[in-house]
Structure 1
Amino acid sequence: MNFKNIPCWVKVASVVLVAVFLLNWPADSGQWAAWVQAFGSVLALVVAIRLSEQERFTRRQERDQDRAEQAHAAAYDMTTLAVELHGRIVQLHAYSTGDQDRSVYLSEVLFFKNFQQRLARCTSGSVPVMQKNLGLEVRKLALAVTYYVVARSLRQAPQEPDWITWAERANGLFHQADMAIPKT
Structure 2
Amino acid sequence: MLQYYAKLWWVVALRGVFAIMFGICAFFAPIATLAALVLVFGTFAAADGIAALLMAISGRQRETGDRGILALQGLLGLGVGLLTWFSPVVTAFSLLLYIAAWTLATGVLQIVAAIRLRKDIPNEWWLVLAGLVSIAFAFLLLWQPLAGALALLWLIGTWALVCGILLVGVALRLRSARNTPITSL
TM-score, structure 2 as length reference: 0.29
Structure ID, larger Rg = 1
Bigger relative contact order, structure 1 or 2, given CA contacts below 8 A and separation 6+?
Answer: 2
TM-score, structure 1 as length reference: 0.29
